[in-house]
Every structure is written in C-alpha cells, then in structure tokens.
Amino acid sequence: MDQDVISRLREFKYQGKQNLKYLRELNLDALKQRHLKKLTILHSNDLHGDFLAEEVDSGLVGGVSMLSGYISKVRNEEKNVIYAIAGDMLRGSIIDSEYKGLSTIEVMNLLTPDVATIGNHEVDYGLAHLLFIEKCANFPIINANMYLVSNGTRLFSPHFIIKIDGIKILFIGVLTEEVLASARQEELIGKMIDVRAEADEIRKVVDAYRTHDIDLTILLTHIGFEEDKRLAAELAHDYAIDMIIGGHTHTYLEEPCVVEGIPIVQAAVGTAQIGRFDILFDEFHNRIDSYTWELIPITEDRCPRDEALEELINSLKKTTDAKYGRILTRLPCTYTHPVRNRETDLGDLLAEGMRAQLEVDLALLGSGSIRGEKLGPIVTLQDLLEVYPYENPMIGFHMTGGQLRRAVKFLMRDEAIIQGDHCENFQFSKGFFCEYDCSTHSILQLKMNGKEVRDEDVFMVTEERYYYNYMKESLNIPLDEIEKNGPPVQLAMSAANVLEEYMMSQEFIKLDGEPRLIIHTDNCQNS
C-alpha cells in the first residue's frame, strides 16, 4: 500500500461521507499487510411495525421488503456484516396490533438481525407476552438493566458476543426507565420488575468479560439521544466503550455525535432508512483504526425487494384489510401530528373525541399516544387504529382550577416546549385555552369554555390510565392529592373503542378552529 493511503488511514478517526467510497474500495490484500480488517455494521431502531413501503414523489420508500433487500445486498457485497436493532420493533401498525407482535417477530426473523435489544414498546402487550415473543425470535434479544424484584434476576441475557473474522464484539443492551410506566399497568406482574441504572449494569457486564479478549464493545441502547450522550461521558474513561447504537427518541442524524471519542448514532424511525458503519479494525493494536457512518435511504432505486417477505406481508395485510377496512367517517382535510410538544390538528381531533364521547369537561391526551402523523380525509378503522392503537382504560377524575394551573405550568417548562419534542406533553379538548410566555415563564391566560380558570373551580377530567397512574411524573401533581377531590372512575375500558364510536357517530368531523395553546417563544433562551 502506498504511503499516501497509509497516511490517510492514520490521520482520520471520522471524516464523514467523503471517505465512504474510499473505505469500501480498499484492496483487501493491502489491508492484511497492515493487520486491518473491514467490518460493516448496519443498524435500525424504532421500526414500530413499519412493514409497508410508502409512495412519495421519487417513488417507493421504506418497507421491510426493500430494507431486507438492502441488508442482503450488503451481506453479499461485504465479507464481515452485522445487523443490529436498538429496540421498539413492536407497535405502530394494524398488522402488529392484530397479532400482538407475533407477526412482527415473524417478519424480524426473515430480516435476520444478528442481535437486538428491547424497547419500551416491547412490553405493550404485557410482560408475559414479551417473554413468549422472545422465545419465538430466531435471534438474540438482550437487556442488562431489567430485573425481577423478588430475586434480582435479569429477565434477559445482558449481552451477546459476536465473533466475526477473528474479531470478538461484545454487545450490551439497556432500556429506558419509561418502560416501567407501561409495565406497571399490570397490577400483579408489573410490581415484580425494576429497571436499574444503565451505567451500573454496563460496568458489571464489561468487568465480567474483560478477560475474554473482547476486541470491540458496543452499547445497543433504547434510552434516548441525550441519555446516550450522558452515558458516553460517564463511561468513556474507564470502560473502553467503542460506540453507542441507540433508539427511543427517533433522532435523525447526518453524522455521528462523538462524546469523549465515542460515536453515538440513531437511524431515525421506521424502515425508510438504515444506519451504516464501515469500519477498519486494527488487529495489531486491537482497536478501531478508522470508520465512516451514514444514514442510507431505503428506496427502490438502490434496494432490491425480498420476495419471501413481501409474500408474508401481503398475506397478513389481506387479513387486516378485510377486518379493519370499513370507513368510519370523513374529514374535511388531512389532519396532522408532526410533533409531540405542540398543539396539533390531529391531537385536537382525538382529544375532543374523548371529551365529547365521555361527556367530561376536559380530556387530556398524551401526545406520545398518537402513533401516526396524519389521518384523513377518509378514515377507516385501520387508519384510526394505526394512529391510536391503545386499548388503555379511560379514567375520570376531579381536578381543581389551581391544580390545572400547576399542571399546565409544568407542561410549559423549557425542557418540554423549547429544547426538544420527546418530552411527554398533552393535547387538549375543545373549551380549553392557555396563553403562555416562555420568556417570563408565566401563564397569561387560562380559560375553560371562555371563562378564566379560578383556583376553586372543579373540573371533571379524563385521561388514559397509563398517564393517570403517573400523574406526578406527567403533570407534576401527586396522585393522592388528586384523589382527595374524590375517587377516580373508570369511564371506558378501551380508549380506542371510545374514538371509534365517536368517529362512527359523526358524518363529517370539522375542527372548531379555536386554538387550545398560544405559546410566545420570542426572546426565549434556546428558542
């Protein structure tokens, strides 16, 4: 290999996409002379049952058929390829919901990942069901920080070691604490699990395998982008973490975020793209010599189709289309939900549906419960259940005006409004109005049905049991304080059923056009 090539290899740790073609085309015989081996790591996260390709201006995008085609193509082109999934394979499509994740695991088996970790939505169908699903998987599912409280046993294997071309790679999986909010809805089993601090569990696994001649250590996380950065800073100096492949916050990146020398990546959400590392591993020094990373679009011009997967998906889709294809209602236009930390048209529609159907003063709908970005103008049952798939019971409770004001003030904090859209927030039903100034952190107006809210007012409010159980975390009001106003009432067994009935009872649903929230962000820090 000439001196110019050697110089370039030594100089860059990461120099972006311009080096990608160079790395992929290096002569393998020349690499062997320098003890360098090529390794390609493909990764996905937050697939959420995104099985079908979408039609866009440029053609078809995404879908597991073309995703599988791209993975197979890379495996045929490159010698050493690993495909990893960083959680939330389940929840988000009617096919996934109809078969309670079993269809998704069948699809994942055909995608043939080498390793996966669980996400918070993997427990949506229950913990016992998750453990059954794990047995159906033909690939290892790992997690290091979910434990049984009774005996301190992990629910999953904490790690998986992949040996490829003489390189030994340790994968460790960790999960966000947010999983507990969903898991603890199961009154018996939910109380039997706990999620421990990610960094502590990673340290345990790394310490246990230091003597196993591990060449690379990769964290497969589902804790969110900001938490990944914190984790990298905490572990970098003592625990030789080589990279973090994350999920949970659906973060779109154009290049890795490097913290203390550790590259952190995510592959946004769904199947419209896949992350790709191309790595040169230095066997002599037992380290990564150089790498590039990019987010690869899954489009029909670059990704062949997987016919076996297409046949499976079409078979599943035929069943769900027949069962859920009936039309519920029409909307005057397509209502959208592009972000979760702002009022949205779709959020207004669904929150108002809950209020009107349950005949309460106010409905609070968790923005994160809205799993799709658009609905209408024709609304089928399948469309509705893909946007809102949850069968959570709806809880009714009394809230004073003073408590409502405190809750709104908490929801308007900078972390939720300005600094990102993954903080939990709520959509409000008709009749609620708030005007808020971020620069002074003050509520300028808070009204219900046109009247200023007084502290002594009492309102009947409804929200999903998931959020009711975590009133302190989601609204900053202790649950026992709310229950002093009167006992809660279960108003409906299934929130999805409530919305289905509302849609069926309305021939043409038009929003009232009145804003629920006006937020002034001018002159705000970080705005």
Per-residue pLDDT of 415-425, as tens digits, reads: 877 655 566 78
What rounded mean pLDDT belongs to the chain?
A: 89
Of the ranges 227-231, 404-408, 437-441, 450-454, which one carries the lowest mean pLDDT score?
A: 437-441
Q: Confidence band (pLDDT; 50, 70, 90) for 7?
A: very low
**Do 218 and 169 contact (CB within 8 A), yes or no?**
yes
Amino acid at residue number 517: L
Contacts of 227 (CB under 8 A, 6+ apart): 176, 198, 221
Are 83 and 42 in contact by the 8 Å Cβ rule? The answer is yes
Give the containing element (helix H, strand E) for 379. strand 378-380
Backbone angles phi, psi at 506, to 5 degrees: -120, 120
Please give the Cα distance from 128 to 69 (Å, whole number): 33
Separation of alpha carbons 426 and 354, rounded Å: 13
Terminal CA-to-CA distance of the chain, rounded, Å? 51
Residues 6 or more apart in contact with residue 110 via CB below 8 angstroms: 64, 68, 306, 308, 309, 312
Structure tokens at 245: 């492949």
- In the chain, CATH 3.60.21.10 sits at 36-315
User: How high is the pLDDT of residue 13?
Assistant: 37
**Span 325-520: which CATH code?**
3.90.780.10
Proportion of the chain above pLDDT 90, given as a percent: 71
Tell me the torsion sign for CA atoms 486, 487, 491, 496.
Answer: positive
Dihedral sign, Cα of residue 297, residue 302, residue 306, residue 310: positive
**Are 169 and 82 contacting, i.e. CB atoms less than 8 angstroms apart?**
yes
Query: Which of 2, 80, 4, 20 lies closest to 290 in space, CA to CA?
Result: 20
Lowest mean per-residue pLDDT among 17-31, 154-168, 383-397: 17-31
pLDDT at 486: 96
The mean pLDDT value for 240-269 works out to: 95
Contact 243, 264 (CB under 8 A): yes
Tally of CB atoms within 10 A around 476: 15
CATH class of 36-315: alpha beta
Predicted local confidence at residue 6, as pLDDT: 38
pLDDT at position 524: 59
pLDDT band per the 50, 70, 90 thresholds, residue 236: confident
**408 vs 404: CA distance, rounded Å:** 6
Other C-beta atoms closer than 10 Å to the C-beta of 4 total 8
Q: pLDDT above 70 covers what percent of the chain?
A: 89
pLDDT band at 238 (very low <50, low <70, confident <90, very high): confident
- Per this entry, what is the length of the chain? 527
**What value does the mean pLDDT take over residues 335-344?**
91
The pLDDT assigned to 19 comes to 53
* Mean pLDDT (whole number) for 436-450: 94
The 3-state DSSP class for residue 453 equals coil
Tokens 């769904």 label which residue?
Answer: 270
For residue 325, the model assigns a pLDDT of: 94
All CATH 3.90.780.10 domain ranges of the chain, comma separated, are 325-520
Using pLDDT thresholds of 50, 70 and 90, give the confidence band for residue 8.
very low
Is pLDDT above 50 for 527? no
Q: Which amino acid is at 182?
A: S
Share in percent of the chain as helix, strand, coil (round to 5): 35, 30, 35
pLDDT at 1: 40
155-161 mean pLDDT: 95
Structure confidence at residue 224 (pLDDT): 93
Phi, psi of 515 (to 5 degrees): -70, 145
Question: How far is it, in rounded angstroms, from Cα 316 to Cα 314?
Answer: 5
b vs e for 488-525, b when ≥16 Cβ sit within 10 Å of the residue's Cβ?
Answer: beebbeebbebbbebbeebeebeeeeeebbebeeeebe
